[in-house]
Amino acid sequence: MNIKNKIKITVNGKQMQIIPKFTLKSLITKLKMPLNKIAIELNKKIIDKNRISKIQLKKGDKIEIVHFIGGG
């Protein structure tokens, strides 16, 4: 893949490069995130986890992936 075709996105505040037509599901799989333990926001909108295979990521997309940690 030519580097020029790569798309820049931000995941949890960090820049990442992906290939065109990369889906949100591919991203979650690539990051090895267990779907039942996380929630996903795409550009500040919560994404239904059942729909992630239908969502293609675009240039500049901001993704937040969260989980539960210890808290009071």
Partner 1 sequence: MIDKRFKIANKIFKSRLIVGTGKYKSFSECAKAIKTSGADIVTVAVRRVNISNKNKARLMDYIDPKKITYLPNTAGCFTAEDAIRTLRLAREIGGWKLVKLEVLGDKKNLFPEMIETLRSTELLTKEGFKVMVYCNDDPLMAKRLENAGAVAIMPLAAPIGSGLGIQNKVNIKIIRKQTKLPLIIDAGIGQASDASIAMELGCDGVLINTAIAKAKNPSQMAEAMKLAVISGRKSYLSGRINPNLFGSASTTTKGII
C-beta separation of 57 from 41 below 8 A: no
Dig out the tokens for 65 from the structure.
Answer: 């992936």
Helix (H) or strand (E) holding 45: strand 45-46
Per-residue binding letters, 40-59, with partner 1 (x by CB under 8 A): xx--x-x--x----------
- Report how many residues bind partner 1 under the rule CB under 8 A: 25
Per-residue binding letters, 4-43, with partner 1 (x by CB under 8 A): -------xxxx----------------xxx--xxxxxx--
Minimum CB separation from partner 1 for residue 9, in Å?
A: 12
CA 54 to chain centre: 12
